[in-house]
């Protein structure tokens, strides 16, 4: 499957779909790949046409992605420059001087000498003990700009920033963000934010692209499911599945979905979306599912000065702090 690409502010191309590699969180912390399962998934993903992989230092998947890329380059299936790696700076390394070290750690795990796209995972800076730090995200952004000038990252961007925070980076930064990764799915269409980002040339990557459609990391949420009648009738028309329709809807909006799967059949299903298009009416119909609902809502950080989302009445306990 040939995947089209989107042009970023730095003039480079981002493949229009990426494979998500966050494996979830349980009582022991971040869920880790067992028996090189993720490495094998990424190798298979490369075979079926994926060229873009989304990771983060906090996901602990960089090493297996790197191993898979190395093996596929050695097999002669791809060249390094055919692959696009997005990874992210964690909140505990927000000082300008810490950014290059964090990137070098990621490069070492990936076994690469540059990263295609490096994102600030959250605008929120934290100390090593996860107490709130007062580092301004503009200081962190300057660290990302330094890294791009050094050439260890080719593109830089943001994740989980709200519109006002992005506006500040656009105003005060010296390099325009190449991309922003935010939660985009049926229940969180983000029409205004997507249009604003795109008007500034900032490519939008949509995380958790299936929304309520499927169970994520073992838990289900309210909302339309795979057998939803509206989505099913569109799916039937094109001979596709509802997950494919939802991914294609993001492609039509020039949002780069990063669906996660470790299942070989679904890996192929999710990339098999480039041989049909939805009509503008169908896109509009799917936009109508919007309920402005977020599933990634770290309310335990909501008293941080740079918390990007609306506060809730009953914040959840911080899973990163062991009591």
Residues in contact with ligand NDP by CB under 6 A are 20-22, 54, 159-160, 181, 207-210, 214-217, 243, 258-263, 266, 269-270, 296
Choose between 54 and 67: whose C-beta lies nearer to ligand NDP.
Answer: 54
> Of the candidates 298, 287, 294, which has an alpha carbon nearest to the alpha carbon of residue 321?
298
User: Which residues lie below 8 Å from residue 293, measured CB to CB, with a gap of 6+?
Assistant: 187, 188, 211, 221, 223
Residue 273 token pair = 């979306």
CA diameter of the chain: 54
The reply to whether 59 belongs to the active site is yes
Beta-bridge mates of residue 52:
84
C-beta separation of 19 from 259 below 8 A: yes
C-beta separation of 160 from 182 below 8 A: yes
Least Å from the CB of residue 273 to ligand NDP: 10
Choose between 10 and 21: whose C-beta lies nearer to ligand NDP.
Answer: 21
Annotated binding-site residue? 304? no
Choose between 143 and 157: whose C-beta lies nearer to ligand NDP.
Answer: 157
Choose between 103 and 214: whose C-beta lies nearer to ligand NDP.
Answer: 214
Which of 22, 59, 118, 207 is flagged as catalytic? 59
Least Å from the CB of residue 308 to ligand NDP: 11
Least Å from the CB of residue 121 to ligand NDP: 6
Choose between 103 and 245: whose C-beta lies nearer to ligand NDP.
Answer: 245
Least Å from the CB of residue 54 to ligand NDP: 4
Phi, psi of 53 (to 5 degrees): -125, 130
Least Å from the CB of residue 76 to ligand NDP: 28
DSSP string, 166-213: HHHHHHH-SS--SEEEEE-BTTB--HHHHHHHHHTTPEEEEESTTGGG
How far is the C-alpha of 12 from the C-alpha of 119, rounded, in Å?
A: 16
DSSP string, 4-47: -EEE-TTS-EEES--EE----EETTEE---STTHHHHHHHHHHH
Annotated binding site for substrate: 121
Instruction: Cite the active site residues.
Output: 59
């Amino acid at each position: 499957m040939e995947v089209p690409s989107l042009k970023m502010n730095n003039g480079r191309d981002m493949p229009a779909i990426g494979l998500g590699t966050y494996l979830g969180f349980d009582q022991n912390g971040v869920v880790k790949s067992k028996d090189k399962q993720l490495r094998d998934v990424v190798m298979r993903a490369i075979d079926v046409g994926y060229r873009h992989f989304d990771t983060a230092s906090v996901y602990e998947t960089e090493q297996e992605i790197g191993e898979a890329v190395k093996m596929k380059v050695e097999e002669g299936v791809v060249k390094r420059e055919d692959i696009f790696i997005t990874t992210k700076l964690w909140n505990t390394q927000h000082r300008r001087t810490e950014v290059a070290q964090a990137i070098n750690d990621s490069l070492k795990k990936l076994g690469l000498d540059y990263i295609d796209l490096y994102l600030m995972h959250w605008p929120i800076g934290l100390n090593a003990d996860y107490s709130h730090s007062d580092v301004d995200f503009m200081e962190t952004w300057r660290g990302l700009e330094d890294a791009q000038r050094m050439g260890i990252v080719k593109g830089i961007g943001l994740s989980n920033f709200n519109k006002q925070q992005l506006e500040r980076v656009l105003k005060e930064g010296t390099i325009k963000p190449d991309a922003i990764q935010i939660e985009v799915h049926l229940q969180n269409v983000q029409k205004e934010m997507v249009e604003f980002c795109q008007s500034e040339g900032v490519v939008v990557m949509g995380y958790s692209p299936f929304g309520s459609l499927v169970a994520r990391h073992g838990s289900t949420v309210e909302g339309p499911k795979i057998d939803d009648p509206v989505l099913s009738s569109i799916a039937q028309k094109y001979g596709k599945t509802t997950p494919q329709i939802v991914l294609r809807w993001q492609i039509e909006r020039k949002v780069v979905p990063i669906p996660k799967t470790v299942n070989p059949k679904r890996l192929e299903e999710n990339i098999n979306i480039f041989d049909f298009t939805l009509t503008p009416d169908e896109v509009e119909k799917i936009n109508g599912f919007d309920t402005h609902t977020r599933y990634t809502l770290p309310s335990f950080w909501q008293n941080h000065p740079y918390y990007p989302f609306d506060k809730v009445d009953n914040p959840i306990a911080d899973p990163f702090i062991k009591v």
